[in-house]
Amino acid sequence: MKAIKTWNCAIGATILLLFAHTAFAQPNWEVNAPDYQYTMTATGMGIFNCTNSNNPMDRVAAFIDGEVRGVAAFGTEVNGVQLAYLTIYDHVAAGSVVSFKLYNAADDVVTDAVEEFVFSDGLIAGNQDAPFQFRDQYGIGQLSLSANTIFDFTETGESVGELFLINEIGDTLVGDFTFVNDSLGSDNSLFSILTSFLIWEGEVGATLPDTLSVHISGTTPDGCSLDQVLAITVQNTNVPPTGLTTDTLFVPENEPSGRLVGTLEALDETTGDEHVYAFDESGDVNLDHAAFELTGDKLYTTRPLDYETQNTYHLDIRITDLSGNSISTTILVRVIDVIELGELQASNLLSPNSDGYNDTFFIPNLAFYVNYELLVYNAIGNLVYDMRDYDNSWYGNTNRGVALPTGTYYYIFQEVDNNQNRFEGDIHLYRENKF
């Protein structure tokens, strides 16, 4: 929508009507002054594509209700500016809306001026010292940045925000952006511009002042431009980490070196912060560190660990965030005792009489045998019972629940899909009145 201005200037000055249309091939604007009773004047400058007119052949025409009501050329130079002295005519003393068209002689084009005002008999709009502006588009009112804050942990190459131009009536404009390298842009070197985005190029965790200044120019495709100094706020508010999300990790014994023990994760209130983990060697020598290594946030063993030799390790871990804040904390690694082959301590006597003694085939530390199965055979080699993930519940029955007679049976207790990890033995089943 065009802006409508009502002028309240003092009435005065000599009315000058300049008919210059005969000097141009285009456009054929004409007005017959004697047909109208009322007049007002406007002294103004022409602005095409945000550039002052310097061509005396450029023209402006006033229109009321679609009719030409005044024509003038920007033919008079005053203080280095080409001015037009425009007389506007109407049938009524006041109230008509006056619009304007502009002729750009260099491009041989006619465009609508963006400004309008209300006609008032005797009104004088503009003067030589403060000419009215006849413009073919609104000027750029502001160069802005969508976000203007960086943090002391902002990574190099990360976008700070998007640059954009806004004209005088609030429309967002497309623009090209460049730095203005002068004293006003004292921190330009810490940033780059990628299309319309301001990019942080400084070091992560660098000590910075609270505010940085960049001087940037934006130019529209029509050639309108505006440069502006933008303030970038630096927030040095990175809260140090407070510890680790766990204080104990577990690893089975006898695993080969390079076994992953666990992934470290810092407790940190700062959103988006990142951390470096290392053994803290600042105090007394910690021999436990030699059994492990840290790669990023992963903790690995450097050798097989034996439960019987050492079952607990104390590791001093230093955690450092992107701002250089660091703390030291201790984490425990506990070695899980793995029952080694040949050490199955199962009883070989089974007497299922519900007296609480040897009622089931019982294997101590059964939790260590993950994914193991029990197979039971009779004296002639027939499979009479089997159970995957055995749970110490076999009481001398077949898979169908039929009680087996007294006798000697043979078992295999083995890891599923890896029958090299297996235990074998015999079971003496005694059942009263069942021979």
Q: Are strands 407-415 and 372-377 parallel, antiparallel or unpaired?
A: antiparallel
Q: What is the CA radius of gyration of the chain?
A: 45
The 10 Å CB-count burial string (b at 16+, else e) for 268-298 is: bebeebebebebbeeeeeeebbebbebeeee
Contact 66, 12 (CB under 8 A): no
d(CA 315, CA 331): 5
| CB count in 10 Å sphere of residue 153 | 22
Q: How far apart are CA 409 and CA 380, in angstroms?
A: 9
pLDDT in tens, 195-250: 999 999 998 767 788 899 999 999 998 888 999 999 999 987 777 899 999 999 99
% the chain with pLDDT above 70: 91
| Domain map (residue ranges) of the chain | 3-135, 140-235, 243-336, 349-429
- Going by the DSSP 8-state scheme, the letter that residue 337 receives in this structure is P
Give the H or E element holding residue 422.
strand 418-429
* Residue 328: closest CA among 260, 253, 277: 277
Give the pLDDT band (50/70/90) at residue 271. confident
Domain 243-336: CATH class, spelled out? mainly beta
For residue 11, pLDDT beyond 90: no
Q: How far apart are CA 329 and CA 333, in angstroms?
A: 13
CB neighbour burial string for 333-351, b if at least 16 within 10 angstroms, e if fewer: bebeebbeeeebebeeebb
140-235 with 349-429: one CATH topology?
Answer: yes
Residue 176 pLDDT exceeds 90: yes
User: Could you confirm whether domain 3-135 is CATH 2.40.30?
Assistant: no
CB under 8 Å to 355, separation ≥6 — which residues? Answer: none
Structure confidence by residue, pLDDT tens digits, 99-133: 999 999 999 999 999 999 999 999 999 999 999 99
Do the bridges between strand 275-279 and strand 312-321 make them parallel or antiparallel, or are there none, so unpaired? antiparallel
User: Which pLDDT score, from 0 to 100, does residue 89 have?
Assistant: 98
Q: Express each pLDDT in 366-401 by its tens digit.
A: 887 888 999 999 988 899 999 999 999 999 999 999
CB 37 within 8 A of CB 71: no
> How far is 247 from 234, CA to CA, in rounded Å?
35
CATH of domain 140-235: 2.60.40.60
pLDDT over 90 at 291, yes or no: yes
Q: What is the pLDDT of residue 23?
A: 40
User: How buried is 49 (Cβ within 10 angstroms: 0-12 exposed, 13-18 middle, 19+ buried)?
Assistant: middle
Q: What is the DSSP letter of 403?
A: B
Domain 349-429 has CATH 1.10.10: no
Q: pLDDT at residue 1 above 60?
A: no
What phi, psi does 85 have (nearest 5°)? Answer: -110, 105
Bridge-based pairing state of the strands 149-151 and 225-235: parallel
Residue 24 has pLDDT above 90, yes or no: no
Place of tokens 């297996």: 422
Q: What is the pLDDT of residue 279?
A: 97
Q: What DSSP assignment string belongs to 78-137?
A: ETTEEEEEEEEEESSSEEEEEEEEEEETTTTEEEE-SEEEEEETT-EE--SSS-EEEESS
pTM summary value: 0.49
**Whole-number average pLDDT of the chain:** 88
